[in-house]
């Protein structure tokens, strides 16, 4: 009898199955796509069992069965669950490790619950390599069911610098997939921020790809110790197979997306979360698809400021903090709205290794929430408050320079605006309220007395 089952043996499922197997657990693998099972069969031994039918797969697992589904999000997951619910028994545990929409996970959690089947929606991050050697895992669902799979998940997960597994119980219901969605929103934001910095480096300071690769490589050794910075350095130095040029110079500048960042925005809007940087990152991808982009590219004729590279490093570091801050802010709002108790320091820890947004800054975020789990905004924490004070002038200088040069910096500008707004007691929303009351008698609150007010606005005849 095998201890764990994996359904879906494309690269992610296969690599996770091999990862589990490599930790000494016995695994059964199944896919409706026979060649995928054949590919797994190449690794077959007494602890790795390829199976070719639903029944063979389900019957090969010890009870309660523990099954991970790694297939394309959407309809295929519903079809798989539909099949499984007739074959499984109460107490069995099914984990969906795909990038499922949390609304779907919520519905599936409730539906399978009716059959006594425990459903865990689990975010998995880290791509193919992560799946094989150690992903970051974000499981949400029944705590009791999580405890049963905890040893396996801890064994396969990435480990933080001090050896803790990048997996912990996120919370009930669909909270695991919610947290993965927020991870992806942050991922979109940091990627767009990096792209804007790359644009400024090449356009304003005229750096070559090799020089930029070195700059990002150096930053990676310092405060910006983050996976996305590391791979940016590598992307910049890669030569093309087809030409002798750099690959980056031949990649069409139109960004694709599968939509997890967009989902974060949808729910952020529903919750009223001020996630401007993530919104700009999602819109940045839409903008890249605009067929109107046929004008001439901005050119910078002036002299690049001597402190440009230093300022860009500081600006990017602060903007990265804003991306995380907005992600955590949405999580705190979602936790309240959906009545989930989320432990933000564990979420930060989960992201410290294995996942796409891993960085050293997550250790500081973990500390910040460890000291105060009730932070509304990350920049209330002393470390981030002082980072903001230290790096804000650089961010302002970079945004100003970009504006003067006509170079768009949607996420860097949004980061600056967020920081200029979030603690500002004098935002001009009184004018919005005045206008609302003027044209629609929508009423307003006052800053000098309690109650709801409406003014009979004087209109000149």
Question: Smallest distance from the beta carbon of 255 to ligand 6PG, in angstroms?
Answer: 8
Q: Is 150 annotated as a binding residue?
A: no
Nearest-CB residue to ligand 6PG? 125
Q: Is 385 annotated as a binding residue?
A: no
On whether the CB atoms of residues 359 and 353 are closer than 8 A, the answer is: no
For ligand 6PG, the binding residue among 120, 356, 361, 381 (CB under 6 A) is 356
**Would residue 187 show up in a list of annotated catalytic residues for this protein?**
yes
Q: Is 258 annotated as a binding residue?
A: yes
Question: Smallest distance from the beta carbon of 257 to ligand 6PG, in angstroms?
Answer: 4
Q: Which is nearer to ligand 6PG, 172 or 354 (CB)?
A: 354
Tell me the C-alpha distance between 173 and 340, whole Å.
Answer: 8
On whether the CB atoms of residues 112 and 119 are closer than 8 A, the answer is: yes
**Using rule CB under 6 A, residue 332 touches ligand 6PG:** no
Tell me the C-alpha distance between 82 and 75, whole Å.
Answer: 10
On whether the CB atoms of residues 342 and 331 are closer than 8 A, the answer is: yes
Count the site residues for ligand 6PG by CB under 6 A: 13
Q: Which is nearer to ligand 6PG, 31 or 100 (CB)?
A: 100
**Would residue 143 show up in a list of annotated catalytic residues for this protein?**
no
Q: Is 426 annotated as a binding residue?
A: no
Question: Smallest distance from the beta carbon of 354 to ligand 6PG, in angstroms?
Answer: 9
**Using rule CB under 6 A, residue 99 touches ligand 6PG:** yes
Q: Is 442 annotated as a binding residue?
A: yes
Q: Which is nearer to ligand 6PG, 255 or 335 (CB)?
A: 255
Give the active site residue among 14, 49, 180, 314: 180
Question: Smallest distance from the beta carbon of 135 to ligand 6PG, in angstroms?
Answer: 8
Q: Which is nearer to ligand 6PG, 215 or 228 (CB)?
A: 228
Give the active site residue among 187, 196, 313, 352: 187
Residue with tokens 């960085």: 359
**Using rule CB under 6 A, residue 329 touches ligand 6PG:** no
**Using rule CB under 6 A, residue 258 touches ligand 6PG:** yes
| Tokens, residue 350 | 């989960």
Residue with tokens 């504006």: 403
Tell me the C-alpha distance between 374 and 372, whole Å.
Answer: 5
For ligand 6PG, the binding residue among 187, 196, 313, 352 (CB under 6 A) is 187
Strands 444-445 and 452-453: antiparallel
Q: Is 458 annotated as a binding residue?
A: no
Question: Smallest distance from the beta carbon of 430 to ligand 6PG, in angstroms?
Answer: 39
Q: Which is nearer to ligand 6PG, 102 or 300 (CB)?
A: 102
Q: Is 183 annotated as a binding residue?
A: yes
Residue with tokens 């206008």: 435
**Using rule CB under 6 A, residue 257 touches ligand 6PG:** yes
Considering only residues 115 to 134 of the shown chain, the ones binding ligand 6PG according to CB under 6 A are 125-127
**Using rule CB under 6 A, residue 213 touches ligand 6PG:** no
Q: Which is nearer to ligand 6PG, 260 or 345 (CB)?
A: 260
Q: Is 454 annotated as a binding residue?
A: no
Q: What is the dihedral of CA 75, 76, 79, 81, to 10 degrees?
A: -110
Enumerate the β-bridge partners of residue 66. 93
Question: Smallest distance from the beta carbon of 33 to ligand 6PG, in angstroms?
Answer: 21
Q: Which is nearer to ligand 6PG, 43 or 257 (CB)?
A: 257
Q: Is 198 annotated as a binding residue?
A: no
On whether the CB atoms of residues 134 and 166 are closer than 8 A, the answer is: yes
Question: Smallest distance from the beta carbon of 410 to ligand 6PG, in angstroms?
Answer: 17
Tell me the C-alpha distance between 245 and 240, whole Å.
Answer: 6
**Using rule CB under 6 A, residue 101 touches ligand 6PG:** no
Q: Is 188 annotated as a binding residue?
A: yes
Q: Which is nearer to ligand 6PG, 187 or 199 (CB)?
A: 187
Question: Smallest distance from the beta carbon of 318 to ligand 6PG, in angstroms?
Answer: 23
| Tokens, residue 435 | 């206008």
Residues that bind ligand 6PG (CB under 6 A): 99, 125-127, 184, 187, 257-261, 355-356
Binding site for substrate: what residues are annotated?
99, 125-127, 183-184, 188, 258, 285, 436, 442
Active site residues: 180, 187
Binding site: what residues are annotated?
99, 125-127, 183-184, 188, 258, 285, 436, 442
């Amino acid at each position: 009898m095998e201890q764990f089952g994996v359904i879906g043996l494309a690269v992610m499922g296969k690599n996770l199955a091999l990862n589990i197997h490599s930790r000494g657990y016995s695994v059964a693998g199944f896919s409706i796509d026979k060649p995928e099972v054949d590919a797994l069969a190449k690794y077959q031994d007494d602890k790795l069992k390829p199976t070719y039918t639903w029944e063979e797969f389900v019957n090969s697992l010890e009870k309660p069965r523990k099954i991970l589904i790694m297939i394309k999000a959407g309809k295929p997951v519903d079809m798989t669950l539909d099949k499984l619910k007739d074959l499984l028994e109460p107490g069995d545990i099914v984990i969906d490790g795909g990038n499922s929409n949390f609304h779907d996970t919520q519905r599936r959690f409730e539906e399978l619950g009716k059959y006594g089947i425990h459903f865990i929606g689990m975010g998995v991050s880290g791509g193919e390599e992560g799946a094989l050697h150690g992903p970051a895992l974000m499981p949400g669902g029944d705590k009791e069911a999580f405890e049963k799979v905890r040893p396996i998940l801890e064994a396969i997960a990435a480990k933080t610098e001090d050896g803790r597994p990048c997996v912990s119980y996120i919370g009930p219901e669909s909270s695991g997939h919610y947290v993965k969605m927020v991870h992806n929103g942050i991922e979109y934001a940091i990627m767009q921020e990096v792209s804007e910095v790359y644009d400024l480096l090449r356009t304003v300071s005229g750096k070559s790809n090799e020089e930029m690769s070195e700059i990002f490589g150096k930053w990676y050794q310092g405060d910006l110790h983050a996976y996305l910075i590391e791979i940016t350095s590598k992307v910049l130095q890669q030569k093309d197979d087809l030409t002798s040029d750099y690959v980056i110079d031949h990649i069409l500048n139109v960004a694709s997306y599968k939509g997890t960042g967009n989902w974060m925005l949808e729910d952020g809007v529903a919750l009223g979360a001020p996630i401007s940087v993530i919104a700009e990152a999602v819109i940045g991808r839409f903008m890249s698809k605009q067929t109107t982009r046929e004008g001439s590219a901005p050119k910078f004729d002036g002299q690049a400021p001597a402190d440009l590279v230093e300022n860009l490093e500081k600006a990017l570091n602060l903007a990265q903090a804003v991306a995380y801050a907005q992600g955590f802010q949405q999580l705190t709002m979602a936790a309240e709205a959906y009545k989930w108790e989320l432990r933000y320091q564990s979420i930060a820890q989960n992201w410290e290794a294995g996942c796409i947004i891993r960085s050293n800054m997550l250790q500081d975020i973990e500390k910040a929430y460890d000291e105060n789990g009730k932070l509304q905004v990350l920049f209330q924490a002393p470390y981030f408050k002082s980072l903001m004070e230290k790096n804000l002038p650089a961010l302002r200088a970079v945004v100003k320079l970009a504006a003067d040069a006509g170079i768009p910096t949607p996420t860097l500008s949004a980061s600056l605006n967020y920081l200029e707004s979030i603690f500002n007691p004098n935002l001009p929303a009184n004018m919005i309220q005045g206008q609302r009351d003027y044209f629609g008698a929508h009423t307003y609150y006052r800053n000098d007395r309690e109650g709801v007010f409406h003014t009979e606005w004087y209109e000149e005849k």
